[in-house]
Structure 1
Amino acid sequence: MNARSSRVVILGGGPGGYEAALVAAHLGADVTVVERDGIGGAAVLTDCVPSKTLISTADYMSEFETAADLGVHLEDVEGDEVTDAVADLPEVNRRVLALAGAQSRDIAARLAEVGVRTVEGTGSLVSPTLVRATTAEGHVDLGADIVLLATGARPRVVDSAQPDGERILTWQQIYDLRELPRRLVVVGSGVTGAELAQAYLGLGSEVVLVSSRDRVLPGEDPDAAQVIEDVFRKRGMEVLGRSRMASVERTADGVVVRLEDGREVAGSHALLAVGSVAQTQGIGLEEVGVDLLPSGHVAVDRVSRTSVRGVYAAGDCTGVLPLASVAAMQGRIAMSHALGDAVAPLALGVVSANIFTDPEIATVGVSQKDVDEERVDADVLTLALGRNPRAKMLGITDGFVKLFAQKGSGAVIGGVVVAPRASELIFPVTLAVQHRLNVDQVASTFTVYPSLSGSIAEAARRLHATG
C-alpha cells in the first residue's frame, strides 16, 4: 500500500490511538482521529496520569514520616514542632486535573503539528472502509483505507453496587471529591484498588481494602505482594482477605459494603475497583465482521490485525495487556504493518510493568509462577534492599531485587524490583532481558556507589555459575 495516498481513521485518542496517528503521519498518510472525551483518552484524562499524580502527592506526604527517622524535624515559625501534614483534597484534585488537561493539550498540539485531523465525537464502523463520526453538529462520514480501533475500556460495575459519583465511586469519579474521605472502603485488591487504597491512606483517609483473594495483588509476584500487604497493615490499613463483596449501598451519612458471608463494612465512601469492560459495543464491529472474544474484547494477532482486512485494533479494547505502553506499541505496530514499513510483531515477554504502590513493584520477563509451575528452568536470586547502603541513607526498609537467570546460559530472563521508583530501576533489567544479556555481563557493568541499582549488579554477581 502506498502510505502517501492512504487514508487512516483512528477511533480513540488514547495512547494506542495517538501513537498510531504519529506513526501514520510520519509515514505520509492522511490521518483522522475521532475522540469523544479529549486527546489522551482515559489514560491521560481519568486514569493513568491523574491516578499517578494523586499517588505521587501521597508519596510526597509519606516523606514527612521518613524525615523524623533521618533526624529531620519540621517546625513552624514559632519553633513548635509540626506533627502532621494535611492534604487539601480539592486543591490536590485541581492540580491533578490541571496536569491531565495540560498533558492532553500537549499531545493534541503534537498531533496538529504533524497534520493529524481531530474530530470530536464518537466513531462507528459503517463498513471496513467507512467510519461515521457522531458529533455535536451531526454526522461526519470518513472514508478509510485503514481503520484502527483504539476505543479503550471503562470501569466495570455490577447491579448490586451502582456508582453515584458522590459516595459510591469508580476510579474515574474520584477527582470530583470535595473532601477527603473519612473512611474509604476500597472494593478490589488488584492493581487499581491497591494503588488507590494506599494513595488515600497516604493522604490521610482511614482505609479498608476488601479483597476476594487470599492476598492483595493476586496476579503479581507473591513475594512482592506480601511486602505490599505487610506495608499496608503496618501503616494502618485494614485488609480484609477472602472477603467477596455482595453489595454496596448508600446510608444516611455514608455507605455500607455487605460481604457474601454476611458481614457489613461501614464507611464514608466506597471506591469500586472490580475490573474493566472493553468499549466495543454499539460501534458496528460485529455488523462488519470484526471478531470479538467472549469477554467483549477485539481479537487481534501480534501485528494488531483484526479478522477484517484493513481493520486493526490496539489498547485496552483488545485485552492483550492493559498497559498504556502496550497500547502505544500495538498502535505503532499496526500502522507500520498497514502502511508497509518495517515492523516486528508484539513481544509480550519483554514488557516491563509497574504498580505504583509505595514501594512500587516493577516486573519484566518470566515470573515466579513460571518457575514454580516448571514452565521455565531458571535460577532465582532475591536480594533484600535493606542491606543496600543507598537504601539505608534514604530510610528505605522494605523491598528487594529478584533476578531470574536461565539455567546453563545464565541469560537474564526476568526480574522483579520492589522499591521506591522501581519503575526507573527496572529499566536495566529490561535491557538485559530484551538483549539476552547474561548475569556476568550485567555484573561486570559499572554501577554508581552508593546506588539502589547496585543491588541489581550484586544480584547478578551472586547468580554467577561456579561449576
Structure 2
Amino acid sequence: MIARTSSVVVLGGGPGGYEAALVAARMGATVTVVERDGLGGACVLTDCVPSKTLISTAAFMSNLSSGATLGVDLGAGTATADLTCVNRRILRLAGAQSDDIRARLDGDGVRILRGTGTLLGPGRVRADLEAGGSEELDADVVLVATGARPRVLPTAVPDGERILTWKQIYGLTEIPERLVVVGSGVTGAELAHAYVGLGAEVVLVSSRDRVLPGEDADAATVIEEVFRRDGMQVLNRSRMASVERVGDAVRVHLVDGRTVDGSHALLAVGSVPQTSAIGLQESGVQLSESGHIEVDGVSRTSVRGVYAAGDCTGVLPLASVAAMQGRIAVWHSLGDAVSPLALNVVSANIFTSPEIATVGISQHDIDEARVDARAVMLPLSTNPRAKMDSFEDGFVKVFSRQGAGTVLGGVVVAPRASELIFPVALAVQNHLTVDQLASTFTVYPSMSGSIAEAARRLH
C-alpha cells in the first residue's frame, strides 16, 4: 500500500478515468475526478451504452420478423418501434449506469468535481466548476482521460434536427423516413443497421470499396451482403462533399456530382480528441499532428507525473483499452508491478447483426507475410446450433503459428460474437496451442463447437 498522502487528479470520468480512480483509491491515494459531462463520459452517456441499447432493440425487432422461418405465426400484426419510448429507455439506462459509477466512486472515497480541468503544469490542476468559481489542486499524479468528440466538417455542420452526429440521435421522436448515414466505419455501420432493424429506409454512403474497410475482409463481405439483403442501399466508392438542409429534408452532395436525398443525415466520419484548451501544450505534453496525446506502453506522457488514457491518446478507441490504460497508469505511477499495454491480445467487437468479433493477428497480417501462420475458416451454416436458430450467415476463423500451433488470433461472425470470441482471446492471452483449444470440451450443440472444430483442423 502507498502512503495516504499520495494524491491523484483525474481529468475525465469515462472508462479510462473512473477505472483509474477506483484503482488509485483502493491503493490508498487521495483521488479527485474532474468531469464536465457526467460520470461514464461519452461511452456511457452518448456513445457505447446508448448505441448498443438501440442496437439491442433493433435486433429484437429483427428476430420477430424471422418468426415464420421457425414456424411461428405472429398473425397479421406488424411490430413497430416507438422511437420516443425507445430513446427514453436508452437515456434512462445511460443515466442509471452513470449513477452506478458515481456510487462506486463515492463508496471508495473518490472526490468528484463537476467542471472542466486544466493542467497548469506538473502536479498542478485547476478545476473550473460548473456551479461557478474554480479550485486549484495539487497532485502527485495527473491522469488526462478527456476522450473524444464527433468529427464535424465545415461542409456538413450538424443542426441537431435533421443533420445529426451520433451524440444527437437520441433526441429523435420518430423513425427517420429515409436516413442517409455518411461513413461506413464501425459507428456508421452499427447505427445504419440498427435503423434498418427499427424500420427506417437507410442509405449508407461509403467512401471505400466495401463497408468496414478496417476489418477482416471476409467478415466485412458477409456484413455488406446482409445489409443489402435487409434492404439497405450501400453506395460504395462514394465520398461525401457536403450536406445541406433543404426544408424538412436533407441533401448529401457527393464528390462525383451525385446527390442523395433523405429525411435525415447521420454523420459518422470519425472523432477528434478533446485535448485543446486544457493546458497540455503549455505544460509541455507532446501531442501528435492529429491532436492525440502521445503515450508510451505504461500511459506516460512527455511530462513527468502526467499520464493519459482513452480516446484522447488515439491508441485504440475501445472502452476496454481506455480502462486498462487508466489502470496501468495508476499501477505504474504509484509503484505497483505492471506490464506495458499489450494490444495484440485485445478483443474487439462490432455490434452489427451478426456481430463481428476479433482478437490477435489478422488475415491481412498472414497475407502480407508479416506472420508465419495458418488459418482455418468454418462457415456457421454447418453448425447444428446455428441451424436450429435459423442462422445462415457468419463463420469462425482461427489463426495459429506454423509448426508450434500456438493460437495467434481469430475472427467470429455470429450472433453474440462478443461472447464467442472469449475462448479464442483466452487462448491468445495464455499462448495456448490449437491442440489444447481443440481438446477442451464444448457443449453440444453450441456455436462454440465450431471454435473447437476449427482448432482440430489446425492440428
* TM above 0.5: yes
Q: How far apart are 1:2 and its partner, in Å?
A: 4.1
Other-structure match for 1:73: 73
Counterpart in the other structure of 1:259? 254
1:152 aligns with 2:144: no
Q: Provide Cα deviations, 1:399-425, integer angstroms capped at 9, x if missing partner.
A: 000000100000110100000000000
Does 2:48 match 1:48? yes
Match of 1:334 in 2: 329
Partner residue, 1:320: 315
Contact 1:188/1:274, CA 8 A, preserved across alignment: yes
Asked if 1:436 is matched to 2:431, the reply is yes
Per the alignment, residue 395 of structure 1 pairs with 390
Once the two structures are TM-superposed, the CA of residue 4 in structure 1 deviates from its matched residue by 2.3
Say what the alpha-carbon RMSD is for the aligned residues.
0.8
Identity among equivalent pairs (%): 74
Deviation of the 1:124 alpha carbon: 0.4
Equivalent in the alignment of 2:243: 248
In the aligned structure 2, how far is the partner of 1:379 from the partner of 1:390?
26
Asked if the contact 2:281–2:287 (Cα under 8 Å) also holds between the matched residues in 1, the reply is yes
- Residue 126 of structure 2 is matched in structure 1 by 132
CA contact (8 A) 2:162 2:248 kept: no
Q: Give the match for residue 186 of structure 2.
A: 191
Q: Paired residue for 1:5?
A: 5
1:101 aligned to 2:95? yes
On the 8 A contact 1:3/1:340 being kept in 2, the answer is no
Q: For 2:219, which of 199, 219, 224 is the aligned residue?
A: 224
* Other-structure match for 1:236: 231
Q: 1:306 aligned to 2:301?
A: yes
Distance 1:33 1:189 in 2: 35
Instruction: Please tell me whether the aligned partners of residues 8 and 31 of structure 1 are also in contact (alpha carbons under 8 angstroms).
Output: yes
State the distance in 2 between where 1:175 and 1:255 align.
Answer: 18
Amino acid at match of 1:404: F
Query: Offset at 1:3?
Result: 4.2
Tell me the amino acid that sits aligned with residue 16 of structure 2. G
4+ long deviations beyond 3 Å: none
Structure 1: distance between partners of 2:73 and 2:423 = 36
Which residue number corresponds to residue 167 of structure 1? 162
- Per-residue CA deviations over 1:243-298 (Å, capped at 9, x if unaligned) read 00000000022100000000000000000000000000000000010000111000
One-letter code aligned to 1:106 = D
Find the residue that maps to 1:432 and give its secondary structure. Answer: helix
Please tell me whether residue 458 in structure 1 is matched to residue 453 in structure 2. Answer: yes
Structure 1 position 86 matched with structure 2 position 85? no
Which runs of no fewer than 5 residues in structure 1 stay unpaired?
76-80
SS in structure 2 of the partner of residue 294 of structure 1: coil
Residue 17 of structure 2: aligned partner: 17
Q: SS of 1:395's equivalent?
A: coil
The amino acid across from 2:61 in the alignment is M
SS in 2 for 1:228: helix
Instruction: Tell me, yes or no, if the aligned pair for 1:3 and 1:339 is still in contact at 8 Å.
Output: no
Q: Secondary structure at the match of 1:287?
A: helix
Q: What residue is the counterpart of 2:114 in the other structure?
A: 120
Between Structure 1 and Structure 2, how many residues are aligned? 458
Corresponding position of 1:78 = none
